[in-house]
Amino acid sequence: MKLLFRQRFFSWFDSYDIYNEAGDTLYTVKGQLSWGHCLKIFNAAGQELGTVQEKVFTFLPKFELYLGDAYAGCISKEFTLFKPKYNIDCNGWHVDGDWLEWDYTIENSAGAAVASISKELLNWTDTYVIDVAREQDALCALMVVLAIDAEKCSRN
């Protein structure tokens, strides 16, 4: 399953639309006013599905993930010199990226690919393609991409 993740050009807070391969909107992401990034994920019908909330006052960036109101885990950046690396404390996943921070792979604890993420260049806004191996992992993979993108925005 492929998802196209595109940031909206004009928005006061982080705002994204996520489409499937046919161009149908699957998810809408809306930023909320808060300390640190707070991103709410909605389905096409407007029901809230999840939240990505940045923890403030941490040495390295850390984001908590919620499915509905239930805590699902967190993603935190590891200290590395060249190649970005993130730990995820849910699903036994971990993330590796290239040194330019445009392409990522999410892997499970057995080393199998859960999703691959690539940033499309030459667009006005941040645009990613998320290729998810299993459809039921799409929402969690999206939450990981949102956390990484928010971390990059905070740093820059």
Cβ atoms within 10 Å, residue 60: 11
pLDDT digits 0-9 by tens, 80-132: 777 777 778 888 888 877 756 678 889 998 989 999 999 877 666 677 899 99
Dihedral of CA atoms 51, 60, 113, 109 in degrees, nearest 10, equals -100
Chain-centre distance for alpha carbon 97: 13
Distance CA 39, CA 137 (A): 18
Q: Is the CB of residue 96 less than 8 Å from the CB of residue 108?
A: no
Local structure of residue 94 (DSSP, 8 states): E
Buried b (16+ CB within 10 A) or exposed e, 102-137: eebbbbeeeeeebbbbebeeeeeebbbbbebbeeeb
Query: What does the pLDDT average to over 26-55?
Result: 89
The closest of 69, 43, 81, 66 to 147, measured between CA atoms, is: 66
Which region among 20-24, 104-108, 128-132, 149-153 has the lowest average model confidence (pLDDT)? Answer: 149-153
pLDDT at position 86, please? Answer: 78
Distance CA 16, CA 56 (A): 22
pLDDT at position 103, please? Answer: 87
Q: What ranges in 9-155 are assigned the alpha helix state H?
A: 138-155
The sign one gets for the Cα dihedral 34, 39, 40, 45 is: positive
Domains, the chain, ordered by start: 2-155 (2.40.160.200)
